[in-house]
Structure 1
Amino acid sequence: MTVKKPLLIAMSLVSAGVLANPAPVTEIGRSGRVASSTTAVATGSVEQRLAALERVVEARAEAQVRMQQQLQILLDEVSELRGVTENHSYQLDEIVQRQRDIYQEIERRVSAVQGSAGNSTASSAAAASGPAVTVSGNASENDAYERAVNLVLKDRRFDAAIPEFENFLRTYPNSVYAPNAHFWLGQLLFNNNDNAKAKTSFERVVTNFPDSNKVADALLKLGQIAERQNDKATALTHYRKVVSAHGSTTAARLAKERIDALK
C-alpha cells in the first residue's frame, strides 16, 4: 500500500504534464492557421473585386463600341437615303421639264397649223392659254427645225439630235426658233452631263433672247448645273432670279423647291 500511493501520484503528475504541455502547441498551431486563412481570404476578395471591376469596364467599353458602330451604320444609311432622295428629285425635275418641253412643242405646232388655216377661234384660245408662238415663213428653216425636234420627240435619237440642232443654229442663227433650239441643245447636253456646253447654250437663251418664254427654264437649268458643280451660291442666285422674275411659271415653283432644299 505504501508503494502504490507514490506511483499513483507520479503517474498523475506525468499525465498532468502530458496533458498540460500539448495545449500551448495546439493553440499556437491553431492561431497560425487562422491568421494564414484570414490573409488568404482578404487577398482573394480584393482580386475578385478588381476582376469584377475589370469585367464591368470591359463590358461597358464593348457596349459603347457596339453602340458607336450601330450609330455609324444608321448615319451611313441616312446619308445614303438622302442621296437617293436628292437623285430622285433631280430625275423628277428633268422628267417634268421634258414633259413641259414636249407640251410646248406640241402647242407650237398646233398653233402653226391653226395660223396657216386661219382659224381665228382656235387662235384666240391659244393666245389665252399662253404667249403667241411665232412661225417662220421660210420653209427650209421650218423643215430644218422640224427635223431636229423630231429626232427628240419621235425618234428618241438624242445623240443624233445634238449635231442637228447645232447645224440649225449655224445655218439660221437669227431664226425665230433660235431660243427654243438653244434650249433643246442645252437640255440634250445637260442629259449627257456635258455641263460646260449645256451652260453655254442656256446662257445664250438668257442673254440673247431675254423676252423668250424659255428664259425661266434656262435659268432653272443654269441653277442645276451650278449645283452639279457644287457652286451653291451661284445656284441660289439663278433660282432666286427665276422666282423673282418669273414667279407664275412652273420653273419658279421648281426653283423655290431647290432654294428650300439648299437652305
Structure 2
Amino acid sequence: MAERVDKLEQQQTQAQGSVDLVNQINALQAQIQSLQGQNEELKHQLDQLKQQSNDKYVDLDSRIARLEGRSPGAAAAAPAPAPANNQMQDVPLGGTAATAGNAAPPPAPEQNAAPAVAAAPTAQLSNPAVGGGDEKAAYDQAFGALKDGRYAESARQFQAFIGKYPNSDLTPNAYYWLGESYYVTANYPVSLDTFSKLLAQFPNSQKASAALLKVGYCQYELKQWDKAEATLNEVGQKYPGTQEANLAQGRLRALKLERH
C-alpha cells in the first residue's frame, strides 16, 4: 500500500512538473509573438522614416538643381564660376541659368524666386535691384542670412522688413522666404501660417504658385492628409505644366504611400 502511495505521489509530481513546463512554454511563445509584433511595428516606422528622408532629399536636390541651372538628379559637369560676391541668388522658378559656353539671358525679376534655400551659388546670375536703397539693403541682408543658414536671424529680419515696408514690391518675397526659413527648420505650423498669409494678402503675386505648393508641403509634414491632398491637387489645377505642378504630383504620390 505504501509503495502504491509513493508511486502515485511521484506521478503527481511529474504531472505537475509537466504542467509547469507547458505554462513556461506558453509564456515564452506569448513573449516571442509580442516581440515579433514590436519588431514589425519598428520596421514599418523605419520604412516610413526612410521614405520621408528620400522625399526630402529629392525635394532638396530638385530645388538646388533649379538654382544651379541643371536638371534635378543630374550631376553638374563642371563647377560653374561663382558671382563676384559669392551670393546665392533669388532666381526664377524654372528659370534658365548660364551653362558652360553659353551666356544666360537676363534673369526675370527676383520676385519669381524658386521655393528653395541652397548654399551653392548660381552661375552668372545677378540679383536685380528692386525698391529703394534702404529697402533693398534690408531685404538683401535678410536674404543673405537665409542663404548662410542663419534661419532665426533671417526670420527676424524678414519680419522687420514686412513691418517696415508692408506695401513694398518685395513684401510678397519677404513673406515667402520668411515661410521658407521656418520650413527648413521643420517649424511647419508657423511656416504654414506664413505661406497662407502670403496667399491671402498677395493672391496674384508671382510667389503665389510656390507658396501654395509649400502650403501643401506643410500640411503633408503635419500629416493633415486630406488638406494636403486637396492643396496639392489645387496646385496642379491652377498652375498646370509648371515646376510646382510637377512637384505637387510627386508629393501626392508620396502621400498615397504614406497613408497606406
| In the alignment, structure 1 residue 172 sits paired with structure 2 residue 172 | no
In the alignment, is residue 145 of structure 1 matched against residue 139 of structure 2? yes
Give, in whole Å, the separation in 1 of the partners of 2:159 and 2:191: 12
Q: Pairwise mapping of residues 59-98 of structure 1 onto structure 2 (< 5 A)?
A: 59-82=24-47, 84-85=49-50, 88-89=53-54, 91-92=56-57, 95-96=60-61
**2:19 corresponds to:** 54
Structure 1 residue identity aligned to 2:151:
F
Q: Is the 8 A contact 2:220 2:255 kept in 1?
A: no
**Match in the other structure for 1:163:** 156
Contact 1:240–1:259 at 8 Å: present in 2 too? Answer: no
Alignment equivalent of 1:233, drawn from 226, 231, 239: 226
| Aligned equivalent of 2:239, options 236, 246, 254 | 246
Relative distance call for 1:58 and 1:135 in structure 2 (3 A) is same
Measured on the aligned residues, the alpha-carbon RMSD in Å equals 4.0
Opposite residue 226 of structure 1, the aligned amino acid is Q
Bigger helix share? 1
Aligned residues: 213
Aligned to 1:122: 105
Note if contact 1:199-1:225 (Cα within 8 Å) is conserved in structure 2. Answer: yes
Instruction: Quote the residue 1:189 is aligned against.
Output: 182
Q: What TM-score comes out, normalization by structure 1 length?
A: 0.60
Amino acid at match of 1:81: L
Partner deviation per Cα, 1:211-240 (whole Å, 9 max, x = no partner): 445333322332343345443322222222
Alignment match, 2:91:
107
For the 8 Å contact 1:220–1:255, the answer to whether it is kept is no
Larger radius of gyration: 1
**Counterparts of 2:66 and 2:138, CA distance in 1:** 18
Bigger relative contact order (CA 8 A; separation at least 6) = 2
In structure 2, relative to structure 1, the CA distance for the partners of 1:41 and 1:177 (3 Å cut) is same
Do the aligned partners of residues 255 and 218 (structure 1) sit closer, same or farther apart at CA in structure 2, a change above 3 Å counting?
farther
**Corresponding residue SS for 1:107:** coil
Q: Does the C-alpha gap of structure 1 residues 166 and 90 become closer, same or farther in structure 2, counting only changes over 3 Å?
A: farther
1:208: which partner in 2? 201
Whether the 8 Å contact between 2:55 and 2:254 is mirrored in structure 1 is no
Identity of aligned residues (%): 18
Offset of residue 135 of structure 1? 5.7
CA distance in 2 between counterparts of 1:199 and 1:144 reads 24
Q: Secondary structure at the match of 2:91?
A: helix
Q: Which amino acid is the alignment partner of residue 242 of structure 1?
A: V
Question: Counterpart in 1 of 2:256?
Answer: 260
| Cα separation, 2, equivalents of 1:151 and 1:253 | 31
C-alpha distance in 1 between matches for 2:43 and 2:104: 55
Would the alpha carbon gap of residues 226 and 132 (structure 1) be closer, same or farther in structure 2, given more than 3 Å must change? closer
Under a length normalisation based on structure 2, what TM-score does the superposition of the two structures give? 0.61
What is the distance in 1 between the residues matched to 2:51 and 2:252? 15
Cα deviation digits, residues 60-84 of structure 1 (max 9, x gap): 3133133124214413532541453
Deviation at 1:192, TM superposition (A): 4.3
Q: Give the aligned residue type for 1:58.
A: N
In structure 1, runs of 5+ residues without a counterpart are: 1-34, 115-119
